[in-house]
Structure 1
């Protein structure tokens, strides 16, 4: 066989092997379950761990995608220091391009304070963190990125109407080895990067609105978890500074990206 023929045979053989690999890969994907139990187990392990925490603090750094008036995508950064004491205490100091706010919930009252403008608003709130997060979003339009991770018994909430669950792989987030999992339900995809080991806390969380053509998303990095923060009850109650002015909450404004 001459050199030209050998090269042709080798090329056709290579193409045949490639086609076989593609077929095998496609078949494997077709046979893979839409909801992978391994992905579900990783999520369940994370939520069980978070459920067991009576109090904690965490730092978050969020990237919120929006459409500029020009029609182009822009990213807004929002950092927050969050302290939680279950069942009914929550405080968050939030700073970024979109806001400079202090969020207080003491089990009875929700308060929002803007130190830059020295204005604040208060409203009677429900009796739990979970109900207050819903109330804040639906009634006064306060967006709390990754708020669903603060819910106690978050697993059924996150798994509601899920049509796809997949293990994407393993990677490092902030130097911590994590399982990367993907979930999808009508209108929304979300991804979670869950730390390996005895403390499977979330290190990164991405929520994407697939029902919107631009598919905006919120990406949140979670770090500096503290499971025994020094918590003073007074820390969750808002006492307005003497030079602060009371105002009313504005009605909710649709941001294009949900909390979940």
Structure 2
């Protein structure tokens, strides 16, 4: 949950390229599959995910920042999410410095900083899309895989795409996935989608092209469930008995990125 605009395979590719150049080899890149095919695969995923009334999953995320002295730092978090369309969600995230829970039951939005032992509740109504926008634009927070959980990921994510590639298959957590890559003016992003009749996201990476050293955000999805396999939830915010209720502007320290005061601000 961060300024979510904000791996190893990339580093390996760089290493191979550098080694090959040093030895005088020429690497021939494969011919990419047609763009229409890649767009169709992404739309199939979009239609499948948005068509599920209930979804739950666990996730691991990494967000990179670049300090003013060009040091790249990565912060890792894990959590879980449960969604009941059109207007209910519960998300947890635990990192090295924050333990956060977000709930929305169609009537109020709750934020609980367990590490702070403080919470806030905001009366509101509306769809999950409206909640995602409120978090993003009013509070500078992001639900994990927020755009992928929207009512129409294809419309949300493909509107500014300028280049599309189908990179073939890849394996995430032992599951064979279609590997797709897309470009916009400001970002490059990749997604791995399970093959078969239930195309859901396994990994999503977005890379900023406007910041030094191109920091990335990556989320890997595990233990995906949908439909009747999803456990029931009342989506009410549950806090410790001694937790303090505060105004939302007082609830600091919920972001994936720590306060680096005294160490230079991150980009």
TM-score, structure 2 as length reference:
0.78
User: In structure 2, what is the equivalent of residue 6 of structure 1?
Assistant: none
User: In structure 2, what is the equivalent of residue 169 of structure 1?
Assistant: 168
User: In structure 2, what is the equivalent of residue 99 of structure 1?
Assistant: 98
Structure 2 unaligned residues grouped into runs of 5+: 1-25, 258-265
User: In structure 2, what is the equivalent of residue 112 of structure 1?
Assistant: 111
Contact 1:104 1:110 (C-alpha < 8 Å) held by counterparts: yes
1:186 aligns to 2:189 (yes or no): no
In 1: Cα distance, 2:167 partner to 2:116 partner: 44
Segment drifting more, 78-87 vs 237-246? 237-246
Aligned length: 231
Higher helix share goes to which structure?
Answer: 1
In 2: Cα distance, 1:207 partner to 1:83 partner: 23
Shift in Å, 1:68: 4.5
The SS at the match of 1:225 is: strand
The Cα offsets for residues 130-183 of structure 1, whole Å up to 9 and x where unpaired, read as 110110111112122321111111111111111001011211100000110001
Structure 1 unaligned residues grouped into runs of 5+: 1-20
Contact 1:171 1:180 (C-alpha < 8 Å) held by counterparts: yes
Contact 1:81 1:92 (C-alpha < 8 Å) held by counterparts: yes
The Cα offsets for residues 212-240 of structure 1, whole Å up to 9 and x where unpaired, read as 223111111001011131213x2x11144
Q: Which has the larger radius of gyration?
A: 1
TM-score, structure 1 as length reference:
0.80
- The ranges of structure 1 where at least 4 consecutive aligned residues each deviate by more than 6 angstroms after the TM superposition are 251-257
Segment drifting more, 242-251 vs 152-161? 242-251
Segment drifting more, 191-200 vs 247-256? 247-256
User: In structure 2, what is the equivalent of residue 231 of structure 1?
Assistant: 232
1:52 aligns to 2:51 (yes or no): yes
User: In structure 1, what is the equivalent of residue 76 of structure 2?
Assistant: 77
The Cα offsets for residues 39-98 of structure 1, whole Å up to 9 and x where unpaired, read as 101101111110210001001100111124754111111111100000000001110125
In 2: Cα distance, 1:43 partner to 1:91 partner: 25
User: In structure 2, what is the equivalent of residue 157 of structure 1?
Assistant: 156
Q: 1:103 to 1:157 in 2, by over 3 A?
A: same
User: In structure 2, what is the equivalent of residue 16 of structure 1?
Assistant: none
Structure with the larger RCO, 1 or 2 (CA within 8 Å, 6+ apart): 2
